[in-house]
């Protein structure tokens, strides 16, 4: 499966880490382990996707962040928690935010809103992405064999499980959108 399949797989890794993150990075590393992808290609595509995601969120927050907060009080309360952390430890938080589950997007939004310079954010975000790639890439590298063995029992049922997970994800997303729509109307 050389050639165009490889480019498509790396593009999928880029898009996956742009939209989600760790799970898609680990999935790409599993693809490397079964000799479908290049390990460093996986890491490069994952870095590019994660870094691009952060920049898109940062730039949106820079442009429309205050208006976004006015419309979402729950998000505003989460950002208040992050704001106190960013005031105390600005550089440490901007380097380590990717490892803070549930606060990474809030941190990027707040960085965009609070006026952190783009140059500073870009550098610290790149360092954060590199640390993230090293940690999850390392976990994937050392535990890929174990993950594959633990998934072998799925056999022919893997496609049904994946379809069920996708359906569950779409249903959850639909319920969230319906809930927001009901709140607005």
pLDDT tier at 3 (50, 70, 90 boundaries)? Answer: very low
What are the structure tokens assigned to 161, written together? 């499980």
The residue ranges of every structural domain in the chain are 4-145
What is the DSSP secondary structure assignment for residue 155, as one 8-state letter? G
Percent of the chain at pLDDT exceeding 70: 87
The answer to whether residue 23 scores a pLDDT higher than 50 is yes
- Whether 136 shows a pLDDT value over 60: the answer reads yes
Higher pLDDT, 13 or 44: 44
3-state SS class at 37: coil
List the single range of 28-42, 50-64, 102-116, 147-161 with lowest mean pLDDT.
Answer: 147-161
Give pLDDT, residue 52: 95
Asked whether residue 6 carries a pLDDT value surpassing 70, the answer given is no
């Amino acid at each position: 499966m050389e050639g165009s399949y490889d480019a498509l797989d790396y593009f999928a890794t880029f898009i996956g880490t742009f939209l989600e993150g760790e799970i898609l990075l680990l999935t790409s590393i599993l693809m490397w382990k079964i000799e479908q992808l290049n390990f460093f290609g996986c890491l490069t595509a994952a870095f590019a996707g994660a870094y691009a995601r952060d920049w898109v969120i940062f730039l949106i927050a820079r442009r429309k962040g205050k208006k976004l907060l006015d419309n979402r009080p729950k998000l505003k309360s989460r950002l208040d928690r992050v704001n106190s952390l960013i005031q105390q430890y600005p550089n440490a938080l901007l380097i380590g935010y990717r490892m803070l589950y549930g606060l990474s997007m809030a941190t990027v939004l707040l960085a965009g809103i609070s006026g952190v310079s783009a140059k500073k954010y870009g550098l610290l975000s790149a360092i954060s992405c590199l640390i993230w790639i090293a940690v999850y890439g390392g976990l994937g590298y050392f535990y890929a064999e174990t993950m594959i063995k633990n998934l072998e029992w799925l056999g022919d049922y893997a496609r049904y499980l994946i379809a069920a997970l996708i359906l569950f994800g779409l249903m959850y997303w639909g319920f969230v959108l319906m809930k927001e729509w009901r709140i607005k109307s």
